[in-house]
Amino acid sequence: MQEVIDSSVKELVKIINSKPNSLAVAWQFILEELDAAKDGMPFVQDRIDTFYISSEEYFGAINRSWDDVDGWSGPQQFLVNITIAITNTTNIDTAAMVRITIVEYIIQYYGFGRYYLDKSLRSAKKPLDLFSLVAKKDKLHPHFKHLLEKENEEIKNVVLRWSNGFEDRDNKFNYEFQTTFNSSFWEIYLNQCFHDLDMSIDFSKSSPDFSVVSKNKNIINIEAVTANHAINSDPEWSRPESQKEKGEFLNFSCVRILNAINSKYKKYKESYSKLDHVIGNPYIIALAPFDQPYFFIQNNEAIIRVLYGQGIDDNSKEVFVPAAKKNPKVSLMLGIFTNDMHKEISAIIFSTTATIGKAISQSSLNCKIRSSRYHHRKGLVCELTDNSNFYETHLDGLQIHHNPYAENPINASDFDKYEVTHYYYDVENREIDNQQKNYTLISRNAIWTIANASLQ
């Protein structure tokens, strides 16, 4: 049957590419197939969810077709004939499974949905020069030194692609990338995110870090920050002999995340709020945690405690977590989105998957990828996959937490991608509305086949 699939895909690509505006034909063909299959057998419905194409895009697509797609010489008619032939020789269920597999191959070939990877080149007035050494060797960050190793050339190239179009406005970005790394890496990751969201970045504005115009022509100001390890605590790149107990681990993350948010909230109050391009427009804090070893296993638990004061106890029951212990004598109040004290913050962008592992997943390096994904029936789907067969988009794992008290709320459609998870808070019922979509990424780490070394 694989031979039938491969030959069918080859012929479909030939048919599609023979049409004027072939990309539009390919996209319409895919949407029509998903529209026709959306109420099919459970296997097909589950498979559709893995494509990262929103139902709003393909509902009714059959009614919007044209001859190049469903005419006698179009791809639609060819696939119908293949499906009929398979049904006659096997059965209707087998034919349906083969058909959706062929559609997935077409999605992958043209780089749509889950298989999208932006390879465009963008110019910058003051482009970055990340890997020309400007810092002394004894000052280099461990992650930067790791990227300099010859076997990691592909990872370095992915990071360079993310940085396309980024402006070094203050002439110190390259140095900071080489010496402190994480905060600069996070900004480079965000740079690619905003391009994938069809946002244009205005680098003529010196602060906040990003002033963007969305596809809906909305101005949004975004300040990037990382939650880092505390003085006299283990840095995230170290691997101590023992790991913290879960309660202590999450408490520490909450303290560091809250500290990072407060620093950028204070910055807004003191200076950003007075800037013309900020006044009356949303202000978002984009935060990534690099606060301790194995920080990436926190997923969304710490940020939910910080923003909503809620957590999960040892019996997997939801509980209120009103405070975190900074030290034995000082407690910090959690749940900053449950009142209007931070109304100037429109939303928090958050991710624990924006790591070197993300770059590895976009390379062809020989390793295994361990991932977990959300599933609406199964809860959690865990997989161990060869990197050559693993796909996640750049935006996979990105969370948007909307502040219900925001004085300048964001328009959710500005961040409308299947794999971006939106969180809302119901003030009256004190409930979190987590709108994570089926099969999107929760966690991922890369496992090297040699010596079983691991990167998040």
Average pLDDT (223-233) is: 94
Whether the CB-CB separation of 32 and 76 falls below 8 Å is answered with yes
122: exposed, middle or buried (C-beta count within 10 Å: 0-12, 13-18, 19+)?
Answer: middle
373 vs 393: CA distance, rounded Å: 13
Average pLDDT (153-172) is: 94
Would you say residue 452 has pLDDT above 50? no
Instruction: Tell me which residue of 117, 108, 99, 9 sits closest to 51, measured CA to CA.
Output: 108
CB atoms within 10 A of CB 103: 24
391 vs 158: CA distance, rounded Å: 14
232 vs 103: CA distance, rounded Å: 54
Q: For 352-370, how does the pLDDT look when each residue is reduced to its tens digit (9 = 90+)?
A: 999 999 999 999 999 999 9
The mean of the pLDDT values for the chain is: 94
- pLDDT score for 240: 86
- pLDDT score for 193: 98
Instruction: Tell me which residue of 266, 425, 419 sits closest to 351, measured CA to CA.
Output: 419
Q: Against a cut of 0.85, is the pTM above it?
A: yes
> In the chain, what is the greatest distance between 2 CA atoms, to the nearest angstrom?
77
Instruction: Tell me which residue of 169, 166, 273, 288 sits closest to 221, measured CA to CA.
Output: 273
Average pLDDT (171-178) is: 96
Would you say residue 3 has pLDDT above 60? yes
Q: For 129-162, how does the pLDDT look when each residue is reduced to its tens digit (9 = 90+)?
A: 999 999 999 999 999 999 999 999 999 999 999 9
DSSP letter at 305 equals: H
Instruction: Tell me which residue of 246, 128, 260 sits closest to 185, measured CA to CA.
Output: 128
- pLDDT score for 449: 54
- pLDDT score for 378: 86
- pLDDT score for 288: 98
- pLDDT score for 317: 85
Q: What is the dihedral of CA 115, 118, 120, 126, to 10 degrees?
A: -160
Q: For 392-431, how does the pLDDT look when each residue is reduced to its tens digit (9 = 90+)?
A: 999 999 999 999 999 999 999 999 999 999 999 999 999 9
